[in-house]
Amino acid sequence: MVDATGALVLRGASSGWEELEGRLIKETKEWLERLQAKSKDTARGYGRDLGYRLPVDHPHKGRARSPLLGGKSWWGWLRSRGVNPLEAPEIEVIRWVKALKDDGYSANSRGRALAAVRSWYAFLEDRGVVERSPAAKVSAAAQGIYLPPKSPTIVLAPEESAAMISTADHLAGPMRLRNSATVALLLVSGIRVGECCDLSLHNLVTRQGKHRLQFEGKGGRPRALELADLAAVRLLAYLESRPDLKVVVRRGQAGARDRIPLLMTRTGKRVSRFEIFRLLRRVAEAAGLPREIVEQITPHATRHSTADQALDAGANPEEIRLLLGHADLRTTQRYLHADGERVPHKVGRVLDAALAGTG
């Protein structure tokens, strides 16, 4: 049945969607695999906006859940209205975005949701699954999605970075050693927050007294970061304090190192991005840094700070590109705010000197 807008309306919406589910999932998995090769975070966010539940590392026990999400996702919206997503008209996209606004979704959230739907339909067009995208001509501005220019990312001076490291060293709490290692790692290595959260014990490699992180970075590119002593000492102190590692070594579990998070919560799970955001703000405030820094400090800001301090320490842009894991030097240039052996060690020496001044 076709409604007044030209949309194909499924008779018996639930049963109609069950027939579509297999095809939707197959095409969507391939679309998300392409996105994940560039950014896991983008794939995760776009999947939620579209209405697809991404597979998790540890599958849900008990009755299997459908990967299709409801709520205000694009598929959830269409399903509630009995509209076939492969035949949805432009007006449905407009109605959906308006519904998101009415429900209090921010301009950023609505903009990402619209981008997700555009990306999905563009993929389906390329595959010949749909003839045209209903979202291609939907103007973000016409839907009230005005994204203000982003404020410049803050950059910490060496003394401010050192103050944060020193504060994390002494900030009381059951996770003090982990927090100390995390703050030092972010400020010295320039690692991305997602990469930091995904690190497992086997990613830490020690050869001839040198400690290095070897892992798969953004876009699937292999990365190797040699740790400056400032970060390595704190990371090793944290690992030596963990009773779970002694159990693994004693039992000799095959492959256990591959599954054990390098940075863990008290309950044994991987530390989350949110926890790291919260940690940085708590440490910045405890360190007495200016209010604007406390309010704007993020893992992205620590990357900018690392790049800036590396440049001041004499590293060239190509060295900094490798440090940050950028594919293109032009991306690195946006991180360099200053006028005009390995980079982490150069940054480490700058921060060591600054730390000496805080004593």
In the residue annotation, 218 being an active-site residue is answered as yes
Q: Which long-range contacts (CB under 8 A, 24 or more apart) does 17-24 make?
A: 17/68, 17/79, 20/84, 20/85, 20/86, 21/66, 21/68, 24/52, 24/68, 24/75, 24/85
Which of the residues 326, 342, 345, 346 is marked catalytic? 326
In the residue annotation, 303 being an active-site residue is answered as yes
In the residue annotation, 335 being an active-site residue is answered as yes
Which of the residues 40, 242, 300, 337 is marked catalytic? 300
Which of the residues 118, 192, 234, 270 is marked catalytic? 192
CA distances from 92 to 35, 89, 120, 329 (A): 25, 6, 15, 41
Burial of 115 (0-12, 13-18, 19+ CB in 10 A): middle
Which of the residues 335, 342, 345, 346 is marked catalytic? 335
CA distances from 88 to 45, 81, 135 (A): 22, 11, 9
In the residue annotation, 105 being an active-site residue is answered as no
Pairing mode, if any, of strands 204-207 and 210-216? Answer: antiparallel
* C-alpha–C-alpha distance, residues 349 and 228, integer Å: 8
In the residue annotation, 326 being an active-site residue is answered as yes
In the residue annotation, 192 being an active-site residue is answered as yes
Which of the residues 118, 303, 321, 342 is marked catalytic? 303
Q: Which long-range contacts (CB under 8 A, 24 or more apart) does 244-247 make?
A: 244/268, 245/201
DSSP state of 270: B
Which of the residues 218, 234, 304, 346 is marked catalytic? 218
Identify the three-state secondary structure at position 16.
helix
Would you please indicate which residues are annotated as catalytic (active-site) residues?
192, 218, 300, 303, 326, 335
